[in-house]
Structure 1
Amino acid sequence: MYKIKCLNKISPAGLAKFGEGYTVGTDVEDYDAIMVRSASMHEMEFPKSLLAIARAGAGVNNIPLDKCTENGIAVFNTPGANANAVKELVIAMLLLSSRKIVPAIEWAKTLKGTGDVAKLAEKGKSQFVGPEIAGKTLGVIGLGAIGALVANAAHSLGMEVYGYDPYLSVDAAWRLSRAIKHARSLDEIYANCDYITIHVPLVPETKNTFCAESIAKMKDGVRLLNFARGELADTKAILDGLHSGKIARYATDFLDDALLGEENVIAVPHLGASTPESEDNCACMAASELIEYLENGNIHNSVNMPAVSMPRSGCTRICLIHRNIPNTISRLSGLLAQAGINIEDMQSKAKKDYAYTILDVTGAVSEETGAHLEALPEIIRARILKP
């Protein structure tokens, strides 16, 4: 029996995946796993029973990753599950940042009760003229699940699209239209694009990608979109660019007090994944990741552990989270051999200072053997999964 604690309201579509053998709720104790959306976990005390955390979304800023890794807790996210929802919002904002639709809506409200509304509208509409996006150039920084969808959609709308991603995966490359031009540097994006949208994770190397230096390299009147992370843009540099006219419009769903009320800022409250379809997709994917890890020890889409998976062979399975140091596997093999246990299949991968190993074995794996494994100084967590 596995216990799953929910820290937020989780879509019923995801919770329905936990069948017999699972207890799921907000008030369970000594839980084996956590399902979370936006709740901050940095101050939480974790029980020793906690094996995994699944974030129903892509970002994991609300989860203490270092603490989890040190305690052998696998942290999962759901990359791509909300990609279509974010793509649709970005395309909507691409249009809103080009045509002065939002100011026009607000101005139209002021005409109520003024008399001949149709005549006044015809007279005043010229102040809201804005360019079409067809034939313009869009730069997409980051070509993961969301960036690739945005690039393809923009191309379908008649835009010339440049994509930049030095870490482009084979799967992502397959998803891209052949018409997307491969930019070899950010400077190529800055120099050529009328619109630029960013879709990269927030890491020290990407913080303030939109800054005074990069903005200076962009076309005059560039339109910038940030629906990835607020800190990818330097707010002061954005404001300076808007006030000078270098930036024509800035659209984002990360609110900053300094941006609110600015004439050429379109800011919405983090709506990227706020669709029922996205919430269902994220919850289902997060639940599936937890089930696969708890029942089979397989890891997919972990942000702090390497991806390791094997089909179940009917053998006893030993799952080990350990430090990535030399000779660990040989010591494990020796200990198991002494206990009369034979390794039938094995997968092991490292991620920086930590590694994850799955062993399918034959022979009696006693509680004493499990205790001996966990007593090894390099082992952080040992789990024995019976067939």
Structure 2
Amino acid sequence: MPKIHLLLFLLLLTSGIWSAEESCSRGEERPKRYLLYDVNPGEGFNLRRDVYIRIVNLVRRLSQSDNWVLVLPPWGNLYHWRSMARGTFFPWRTFFDVHSLRRWINVVEFEDFVKANGPTIQQAYILQHYAEGWQGNWEEKYDERPCINQHAFKFSSTYLGRAETILHDEYGGTWYWAARRSMRFSDTLRQEAAQFRQRFLNSDDAKDGTEMTEDWRDMKPARRAGRGGPYISVHLRRMDFINARREEVPSLKKAAKQINQILKKHNVTTVFVASDAPLNELEELRGLVSGSVVWYEPSNEVLEVGGDGAVAIIDQIIAAHARYFSGTYESTFSFRIQEEREILGFPEETTFNRLCGKNPKCEQPAKWRIVY
């Protein structure tokens, strides 16, 4: 899929296309400049978290010469968020610790930006693919061209549409992991997950070796020291993946067979399952697994606080704290759990795994190791 490299876009923003403000005199604080962005409405929650890392490091580079602030786009109705009423939006503080985000770059909630500046922007860049395609010769490039689709904006600041088009500058590098580590979940959701772990999985951070410092910048744990709770976890993606990746996604019987093998290998009797499967499939899986099968069921209070987004994060926190994790092929949900486990310091062999589909000896995920 055609993309634009983050550094190429940085050149665009600082080129003659962009009219920069005059520099301040020595000792004066530079005026704030705001960057807003959006993502293709069809993209899911966990891909949007990855796009945030791309944008946040773009803003960090821009902030080396100007006083830039990133405006956080509210979370709206996404494909997998079925419990939300149409038109419902959540600020970032619902899901993430915004103070933690600010330890990497300056960010502001969209609603606070509008209150302070009004609903206007000075410039809008809509990132789009090439109308003629790439004709078999992909390369990193950009051009200023007329919009393929018509856009109407009456927005002081700069707006980026379709920000998922931007590529990472250094995927898996120091800046990537700094931005990713800053994305700590909100205290409310972490506490909910901790209570579930204690109640149903006999798991807590002190026993599991997963305690974290208040400031993520101070945390450099002994590598591979995380033990995890006395359970394994599995992300079992179903729904659209059953057809879209039918060779790679196991049937319930094949999933259960692999889960039983993992339970025996790690000498535990409980598996936590994070899945988009309907309840009847989860019950069927429970009947096929030799141990105890547990999944998280949100209360009405949790759904009121953060809807399906809150449930997704709580699932990921619980799954990330297991003694062993196995995910689903090419699922960004599984990728995010693996990242959480890297941050917590789990051994690689207990983290970068996936359930096999048709081929019982499938290729396992690439190991994206944390860099400080």
TM-score after normalising by structure 2? 0.31
Rg larger for? 1
Higher relative contact order structure (alpha carbons within 8 Å, sequence separation ≥ 6): 2
- Write 1 or 2 for the structure with the bigger share of helix: 2
- Write 1 or 2 for the structure with the bigger share of strand: 1
TM-score after normalising by structure 1? 0.30
